[in-house]
Amino acid sequence: MTWDIPATVTILTGATPAGAVAGPNDTGATGYLGPCPPAGDRAHHYVLRVVALDVPGLGLAATSTPAVASFSMAMSGHILATAELTATARR
């Protein structure tokens, strides 16, 4: 999960933008792992969400968990817009 992406960033290329914070993913490592549903299982849904805020940053430590960053009270009252993409994957 990445947060505090500067408003001037218009394209995400894979590298963490300058000024942004790349926190740990659900495994505790930093970085995107991609979908990996169990072989033979039904299609899994993966939701990618972007939230635009009216503040420059959340003020969270880089060690904050995805749950803390997602539901941070720092976002409360500051959300300007959201966008969501749901992808499916199966093996």
Query: Which of the four pLDDT bands, split at 50, 70 and 90, describes residue 35?
Result: confident
Tokens 């994957």 correspond to what residue?
89
pLDDT at 68 over 90: no
The pLDDT value recorded for residue 40 is 93
pLDDT at 74 over 80: no
pLDDT at 67 over 90: no
Tallying the residues shown for the chain, one arrives at: 91
Tokens of 76: 């409360």
Nearest Cα neighbor of 88 from 33, 45, 47, 34 is 45
